[in-house]
Amino acid sequence: MDIRLGNGFDVHAFGPGDHVTLCGVDVTHDRGLVGHSDADVGMHTVTDAIYGALARGDIGQHFPPSDPQWKGAASEIFLRHAVAMARDTGFEISNVDCTLICEEPKIGPHAAQMRQVMSEIMGLEEDRVSVKATTSERLGFTGRGEGIACIATAALIKP
């Protein structure tokens, strides 16, 4: 059996807007997130974790921000690509664990919906997808409310 772990990390700054998209869910907020695509920091991080487990680079290598076709793109496209790549190379995604790091918006009220959306995109049972949040105790850029960070781990198995 081949078992692989990958991790991902991403950061997006706050900018103009009236919501943020996190793990595929639009969350009302007084600002948006800035990015070349839809800036879904959660989905980007899980995507990178899958690429990492496969030793296939990162999201920027597969979907370069210099390529205008990805401007404003839905991050679901990127995650579906990583999931397909895993399956095409004989791996199953065992589970993913995603931690959003921010002071605001509050993630708890939206975490179940985020898990549902992510599990549907990845073709996994919801009990194999964890979405949770923490603060940075008002320290650093996330603590000052300048943006959102995220870390994720993905476990892949090839029987």
Tell me the domain boundaries of the chain: 2-158
Domain 2-158 has CATH 3.30.1330.50: yes
Q: Specify the 3-state DSSP secondary structure of 81.
A: helix
What pLDDT does 65 receive? 87
What pLDDT does 52 receive? 98
Strands 32-33 and 2-15: antiparallel
Sign of the C-alpha dihedral, residues 66, 85, 25, 74? Answer: positive
What pLDDT does 135 receive? 96
What pLDDT does 86 receive? 98
Q: What is the pLDDT of residues 109-131, one digit of tens each?
A: 999 999 999 999 999 999 999 99
Q: How far is CA 149 from CA 44, 94, 126, 142, in A?
A: 11, 24, 23, 7
Q: Which residues of the chain have pLDDT under 70?
A: none
